[in-house]
Structure 1
Amino acid sequence: MRVINNEEDIKEGKLAAIISHFWIVGLVIGFVMNLNKKNYFTSFYLRQMIGLNLAQFLNGVVVYNYLGNTAGWIVGVLLFIGWIISLFGAFKGEEKLIPYVGEYFQNWFNQI
């Protein structure tokens, strides 16, 4: 976790970062809000949410179908906990990585 020192970056990017947490629609809205003036804080959370949405999709398609409902439910609960951690980080103005996978999301989607 790295706290952004520039309060102006947090102020400008906080709304889009929070909106990006709300499903695919929120992710698209946050992405569009971040197009004109790239904000590091917003981009951080966009990368987190792209990864989390992909993980949720894979959970629904792969885990539920091949490993069963119980495994899918457990993975779903873990993804939800990661989402809550990330959302609270956005509200607090901190860069909160989703445990275990957040760093991978930052590296995989670093072009955003």
Structure 2
Amino acid sequence: MSENNKENLGDKAKDLRDAAGEKASEMKNEAKESFENAKEKASEMADEAKEAAKDIKEDAKETFSDMKENWNEATNGGENKKLIAGILAIVIGSLGIHKFILGYTKEGIIQIIITVVTCGLGGIIGLIEGIIYLTKSDEEFYQTYQIGKKGWF
């Protein structure tokens, strides 16, 4: 091999080495860019997940607050006594306690007298009234028995 060929081969090898180094450097830079992009996307997704979790937490708090408010209104409101009057009428309607709960003192006393005179058959009236109370809508019950003061059935 001539000296000239050796020099050409050496130059070609050097050129190939330089080209390979440049290509490796380019690939390294591309890998860094891809890594940075992936890191950025992961950070964005984590932020979105945190935001979604915060929204879910706020929605859950709001829902629980609404449920608590509705429960308190239904049990302690004192405005609509449908549930308590209906259950008492079905369970111990013969004693007329549901009448006293609704503010019907005269009707409550009459209910007790009917029960005593008929040896307990007056409890059927309480049972029927309890079923009627519980099948009416809240608004209808309130208007009929608490505002309208309908004493019987």
TM-score for the superposition, normalised by structure 1: 0.36
TM-score for the superposition, normalised by structure 2: 0.29
Structure number with larger C-alpha Rg: 2
Question: Which protein, 1 or 2, shows the higher relative CO under an 8 Å CA cutoff with sep ≥ 6?
Answer: 1
